[in-house]
Amino acid sequence: MNEECVKELFSKPITIEALEVCVPQILKKVELVDKGSKIILRYNGSKVGYLLNKVPIEEVKVMRYWSGPFGLKTELSYEGKFVGVLMIVK
C-alpha cells in the first residue's frame, strides 16, 4: 500500500477526512482481478478488498469505516451506493 499514506493515517485518530485522502492513493495502486461475481482488489499479490461491480475506481468514495483486530475496513461507495470494501493494515 502507499506506506507513507498508511503511516500518516495511523499516526493520529482516524477520521473520514483522512481516509478520503488516503484511500484514493491506495486504490490507484491496486490490481483489479475479475472473479465473476466480485472484483478482487490486490496489492502486491495480497487480497486487500473487493468490489461488487465494475465502477470507475478513481470515483470511488469512503462511506464509513471500522477498526478490527486485523486493521481498518472501509466501505466504498460509488454514486452513493455501496460497492465494496478495502482493508487497510498498519
Q: Label residue 90 by pLDDT band (50, 70, 90).
A: confident
Q: What pLDDT, on the 0 to 100 scale, is given for residue 81?
A: 96
CB 6 within 8 A of CB 43: no
The pTM for the full model equals: 0.88
Average pLDDT, the chain: 91
Helices 16-27 and 3-10 pack at an angle, to 10 degrees, of 170
Mean pLDDT, rounded, for 53-72: 92
Residue with cell 460509488: 78
pLDDT in tens, 10-31: 888 889 999 999 999 999 999 9
Q: How far apart are CA 80 and CA 10, in angstroms?
A: 26
pLDDT at 7 over 90: no
